[in-house]
Structure 1
Amino acid sequence: MIKNRKQKFLNHFNKLASDYTKYKRRFGYYWRDIVAYLNYFLTNDQSILDVGCGTGDTLSKLKGGKKVGIDISPDMINQAKKQHPDIEFRLMDADNLRIDEKFDVIIISNVIGYLENIQDVLLSLKKVCKPQTRIIITYYNVLWEPFLHVAEWIGLKKKSPRQNWLSVRDVKNLLYLSGFDSYRVSRRTLIPFNIPIISFVFNKIIGRLPFFNILSLNYFVFARPNIKP
């Protein structure tokens, strides 16, 4: 059953690969905000590993020195290599990493819900962590699940196989069980597209208020290896 689920996701992303960059450009406002927020925590001399990199568009816009992107989809990796020849991309399953080097930052952006065994992936990532490595996980707020299904139904969002919807507690527990300590949780984006003035007010002002903040579309969980004394 697990293999069938993984194959379903693989088929989906292979099919999506040819026009994935064009699709992301349609929602440039949303993706630019994610990139801008991630870049706030990055520097140009850090090594970056992007897990589930897709066509590499997000990784290409992130700060960093050495950048490596991995993905399970051959078609996504082929597109990434064509579009971003200056970045290293590898066809690889995240729960069976074949990488000898270690990274300063590991990004898992909007893919954790598609992973068949999240804990296996997190445990696999430990082998590429330094003591000071930071992991940043981004994913959709579970409260948005019905709205995103409607967006798929009316064509505003690409249809995708059913994913796992996780709470902050779920993610933090999985990190803890895998030997990581979560140290920061951020929430962003009440309106994922650009409506002049309105998007700014809701995303930059109202979205930072305590009650409205928990309604944000994107969650960011930051973690580091648990170094035992």
Structure 2
Amino acid sequence: MRNYFYRLLSTYLRLYARPSDRVIEVDAVSGELQEILGSTESVSSAQLRDAGGGSTADYVILNGNLHYEADIQGYLAGIRTSLREDTRLLVVTYSALWRPFIQLATMLGLRRKTLESNWLADADIANFLRLTDFELVRRDSRVLLPMYIPLLSSVVNRYLAPLPGLRALALVNVYVARPARVERTTSRPSVSVVVAARNEAGNIDNIVRRVKNMGPDDELIFIEGGSSDDTWDRIVQAQKDNPHRNIVIGKQDGKGKGDAVRKGFAMASKDILMILDADLTVPPEDLPKFYDALVSGKAEFINGSRLVYPMEKEAMRFLNMLGNKFFAAAFSFVLGQRFKDTLCGTKVLTRENYQRLARNRSYFGEFDPFGDFDLIFGASRMGLKVIEVPITYRERTYGETNISRWRHGALLLVMLVFASRKLKFI
């Protein structure tokens, strides 16, 4: 039973902590998890604080520790001081609903005898994290059947445990937290704004005029691909007409917005990466809001939301809005973080986090033609803190949409199923 359970738990933790990451388990109650995870180091909380060992860790695991601590706030505060800002804390707790079964398993010798003194609710965990300058990024509930029964265990734990309703009965809760930024930086990093443009000739000059500098040395990157109008010529002319602006241009090698965005990000040289849709339905004047949300430390992945403010009359058709709401709810369930509008084209993250995401892109593959989900899936798996910035969605004033409602809707359903297999039903 114990071996099966710890193998399950290691599978969930490996969703975040990859073999290439430095992983530390603090005050390990037993050695099973470390043995199965393989590359995990085990240290005491005192060693973590005194030696500053957490400063080089990508992930720090607390497996059940909070059940035993007399001073949880002091314990977490001590760990917090030794972690760098991009380290992730993985906190594993066990549901109080399972307390009688855990005690019975202990009596029967199916688990090591321990004295759990704290049985914590979600609100308790969130409160302790806030008190000790951690920020909760996401929470997963796992394991309905902690013992191995051929076929049945796999079906129950992989497909039933994550479902609404049933997940409230799960044994294991996994919380992903990040150290909250206590002091705001006074530096103003520069931005690479990437614009994928196909058949958008009439919008190029407006983009150059309306995208304002946010950092000291921003760059505007146009990537053109497969236009049937003179979009490329207008981009070249805009670069010539604006020598005072740092405008970088290129043609994409493949097809689709996702391919164009990836090429633009590969060409980018600044600290922050932004996507702006060339149709200007997201106003360029709103980009500083995204910039401020990232620079202030409120989050590490900034997603636009078109579904908060009233939108212009012809900005989004009714069926498109229903589809957006459905996919937002479905992907929020799969990803474990709330997304009100997964399909808003404006997304922002640091170049460093994007490079980490890109190095592990093979986990999901590169079949996303939109580019949105490549970033969303990767950010979710990395445990990046997500926040959405509401924008006022505008009508398109030039050209026609490059989105096919039914064909791309069907593709989104395929991607939803794929993401479920990779992130939720594992």
| TM-score normalised by structure 1 residue count | 0.72
Partner of 2:51: 99
Q: Which of 40, 46, 50 in structure 1 is aligned with 2:25?
A: 50
The equivalent residue for 1:68 is 41
Match of 2:75 in 1: 121
Alignment partner, residue 135 of structure 1: 89
The equivalences for 1:1-229 within 5 A come to: 26-62=1-37, 64=39, 67-71=40-44, 93=46, 97-101=49-53, 102=55, 103-228=57-182, 229=184
1:43–1:158: structure 2 CA closer, same or farther, 3 Å change rule?
closer
1:104, 1:129 within 8 Å by CA — same for their partners in 2? Answer: no
Give the 3-state SS of the residue equivalent to 2:50 in structure 1. Answer: coil
Query: Structure 1 residue 153: deviation in Å?
Result: 3.1
List per-residue Cα deviations over 1:52-94 (Å, max 9, x = no partner): 1245432243365xx53124xxxxxxxxxxxxxxxxxxxx547
Residue type of the alignment partner of 2:179: P
Paired amino acid for 2:162: R
Equivalent residue of 2:97, what SS? helix
Q: CA RMSD in A?
A: 2.0
Equivalent residue letter for 2:51 = I
Amino acid of the structure 2 residue aligned with 1:225: P
**Counterpart amino acid of residue 168 in structure 2:** I
Which structure's residues are more often strand, by fraction?
Answer: 1
Partner secondary structure for residue 151 of structure 1: helix
Distance 2:31 2:101 in 1: 27
Write the letter of the residue equivalent to 1:53: A
Is residue 24–residue 61 contact of structure 2 (8 Å, CA) maintained in 1?
yes
Partner in structure 2 of residue 86 of structure 1: none
Tell me, yes or no, if the aligned pair for 1:43 and 1:63 is still in contact at 8 Å.
no
Structure 2 spans left out of the alignment, 5+ residues: 185-426
Contact 2:142/2:171 (<8 A) preserved: yes
Cα distance change, pair 227–162 in 1 and its aligned pair in 2 (3 A): closer
Compute the displacement of 1:139 (Å).
1.2
Name the CA shift for 1:158/1:58 in 2 (closer, same or farther; >3 Å). closer
Q: CA deviation at 1:162?
A: 4.0
Cα pair 2:10 2:37 within 8 Å, conserved: yes
**Residue type matched to 1:141 in 2?**
S
For 2:141 and 2:50, how far apart are their aligned partners in 1? 32
Measure how far apart 1:45 and its partner are: 3.1
| Shift in alpha-carbon separation, 1:209–1:100, aligned structure 2, 3 A | closer
Question: For the residues of structure 1 that align with 2:102 and 2:29, how far apart are their CA atoms?
Answer: 20
2:140, 2:160 → 1: CA distance?
15
**How far apart are the structure 2 equivalents of 1:226 and 1:63?**
29
Residue type of the partner of 1:185? Answer: R
Distance in 1 separating the partners of 2:167 and 2:116: 26
Instruction: Quote the offset at 1:158 in angstroms.
Output: 3.2
CA 1:162–1:112 in structure 2 vs 1: closer, same or farther (change >3 Å)? Answer: closer
The letter of the residue matching 1:217 is: L
Question: CA separation in 1, counterparts of 2:173 and 2:86?
Answer: 22
CA contact (8 A) 1:39 1:63 kept: no
Aligned residues of 1:134 and 1:222 also touching (Cα < 8 A) = yes
Deviation at 1:41, TM superposition (A): 0.8
Q: Which amino acid aligns with 1:140?
A: Y
Consecutive unaligned residues in structure 1, runs of 5 or more: 1-25, 72-91
Structure 2 distance, partners of 1:152, 1:213, is 24
Per the TM alignment, residue 148 of structure 1 is displaced from its structure 2 partner at its CA by 1.4
- Aligned counterparts of 2:175 and 2:95: Cα–Cα separation in 1: 12
Inter-CA distance 201–148: structure 2 relative to 1 (3 Å threshold): same
Query: Kindly, what percent of the aligned residue pairs are identical?
Result: 27
Q: What TM-score comes out, normalization by structure 2 length?
A: 0.40
* SS of match in other structure, 2:181: coil
Aligned mates of 1:162, 1:34 — CA distance in 2: 19
C-alpha separation in 2, matches of 1:175 and 1:62 = 25
Contact 1:104-1:134 at 8 Å conserved across structures: yes
Please tell me whether the aligned partners of residues 52 and 108 of structure 1 are also in contact (alpha carbons under 8 angstroms). Answer: yes
Change (3 A) 1:189 1:99: same
> Does 1 or 2 have the higher relative contact order (CA < 8 Å, sep 6+)?
1
